[in-house]
Amino acid sequence: MALFIVSLAVVFLAAILAYVISRLGYQGTWPPPEAPGLPLLLVVSTAIIVVSSGSMMRAMAAVQRDRLLGLQRWVLVTLVLGIAFLVVQALAWRELIRADLLIDGSLYAWSFYMLTGMHAAHLVGGLIPMVVVLVRAYKRRYSSENYQGVAYLSTYWHFLDIAWIALYATLMWGEAA
């Protein structure tokens, strides 16, 4: 799992570095004068993913104490919050598309959609094992002595939280720089 997280971190850091290099080397106005600012919905999605890390922590604490109902409840909460994050991200994209900020309209737009889309794809990838963990939790397959799947999911989910915060901070910096 550590190797997987490190490899994903390299992917996200490379994308952030590419954004920073593009931003610093861009000769025009960044963002373009006609481009809307970052959607305020990104603040909402950031809050959602931070709260979802908290619910995942609660799930880990529950399984470590053999509280399987708590495990089920908190994994379900995390799943719902993960879906909510994606819905809010989609609404942010829709807001930008309605404001005519299209992916092929500028390097600024392409960078925004690439960074947020890459994170969303990895989040969808995290929802799949989350459903597996949830089903196994309902089948009582975890205990305080056997919770490796929950631990792996938790590690990945916290990584996604940190990755989103780094991406969002990069986007805010790029708009303000």
Report domain extents, the chain: 40-139+146-176
pLDDT for 155: 98
Q: Which whole-number Å values give the CA distances from 87 to 11, 45, 71, 74, 100, in the listed order?
A: 24, 9, 24, 20, 20
Alpha-carbon distance of 43 to 33, in angstroms, equals 22
Alpha-carbon distance of 81 to 85, in angstroms, equals 6
| The two three-digit tokens of residue 67, written as one number | 């509280």
| The two three-digit tokens of residue 66, written as one number | 């053999």
The per-residue DSSP string of the chain comes to -HHHHHHHHHHHHHHHHHHHHHHHH--S-SS-TTS----THHHHHHHHHHHHHHHHHHHHHHHHTT-HHHHHHHHHHHHHHHHHHHHHHHHHHHHHHHTT--TTT-HHHHHHHHHHHHHHHHHHHHHHHHHHHHHHHHTT--BTTB-HHHHHHHHHHHHHHHHHHHHHHHHHHHHH-
pLDDT for 100: 95
Name the CATH superfamily, with its identifier, for domain 40-139+146-176. Answer: Cytochrome c oxidase, subunit III, four-helix bundle (1.20.120.80)
Partners of 77 in the beta sheet? none
Alpha-carbon distance of 5 to 172, in angstroms, equals 25
pLDDT for 177: 79
Nearest partner of 117 among 153, 93, 83, 88, judged by Cα:
93
**For the chain, which ranges sit under pLDDT 50?**
none
Alpha-carbon distance of 27 to 31, in angstroms, equals 11
pLDDT for 159: 98
